[in-house]
Amino acid sequence: MEMAELALEEAEEKMKKAVEATRREFNGIRTGRASPALLDRVSVDAYGTHLPLNQVATISVPEPRLLVISPWDKGTIGPIERAIMKSDLGLNPMSDGNVIRLAIPALTEERRRDLTKLVHRKAEEGKVAIRNVRRDANEELKKLRKAGDLSEDDEKRAEERVQKLTDKYIAEIDRVQQHKEQEVLEV
């Protein structure tokens, strides 16, 4: 039974990671509000390598619709601006030579609908990942049963627990998705 226990723990760990990955995806989706998390996926060509923006500058939110990026080295201002323009955020950096300001425009109704669809798609990808973990865990339990390490009753009980975990983490993704959709639709 402890082999089944290991398979269940591993499945739960992978499901948690799927939820976390979905959360990270949601953080990168722009709402009408400024958040340093918007820039998490922006990487800057600096010092001969690609670095995450937060490793070359401080990002602050002085106002609800404004991000201020303060590079530690003034020489990285150009590369930071280029990285932001290359990103899919649709933001226009404005620099005064010391800091870069990013005004976050209000979202149009059409853009909100597009973002809601994107949120829905990302949530669906997270749920698929969780279902794949369930399938793998159930296959692992079948292997244990065939190898004689697990009785039929124990296999059934373990499969029920895998299903409960699946339901729990899919509900968690639904909750996170609902929260993100409300954030996107908030004017």
Sequence-distant (6+) residues with CB within 8 A of 34 are: 61, 63, 64, 65, 66, 67, 102, 104
Neighbour-count burial of 75, counting CB atoms closer than 10 A to its CB (0-12 exposed, 13-18 middle, 19+ buried): exposed
C-beta of residue 38 within 8 angstroms of C-beta of residue 89: yes
**Total-model pTM:** 0.72
What tens-digit pLDDT sequence spans the chain (187 residues)? 688 899 999 999 999 999 999 998 888 776 777 788 888 888 898 888 888 888 899 999 888 888 999 999 888 898 999 898 888 777 889 989 889 998 888 878 888 888 899 899 999 999 999 999 999 999 999 999 998 888 999 999 999 999 999 999 999 999 999 999 988 887 6
What integer pLDDT is reported at residue 108 of this predicted model? 83
Q: What is the pLDDT, as a whole number, of residue 1?
A: 61
List the structure tokens of 114: 């597009």
CB 74 within 8 A of CB 97: yes
Structural domains of the chain sorted by starting position, each given as residue range(s) with its CATH number in brackets = 2-27+108-185 (1.10.132.20), 36-103 (3.30.1360.40)
What pLDDT sits at residue 187? 63
- Which pLDDT score, from 0 to 100, does residue 71 have? 92
- In this prediction, residue 179 carries a pLDDT of 93
Distances in Å between the alpha carbon of 97 and those of 21, 79, 82, 94, 157?
36, 13, 14, 9, 64
Structure tokens at 29: 């989706």
Going by C-alpha positions, the residue among 117, 116, 126 that lies closest to residue 14 is 126
Closest-CA residue to 44 (of 95, 85, 94) = 85
Name the residue among 41, 25, 8, 10 with its Cα closest to residue 127.
25
Long-range contacts of 48-54 (CB under 8 A, 24+ apart): 53/80, 53/83
Give the type of residue at 159. E
Crossing angle for the helix pair 109-146 and 2-27, nearest 10 degrees?
Answer: 170
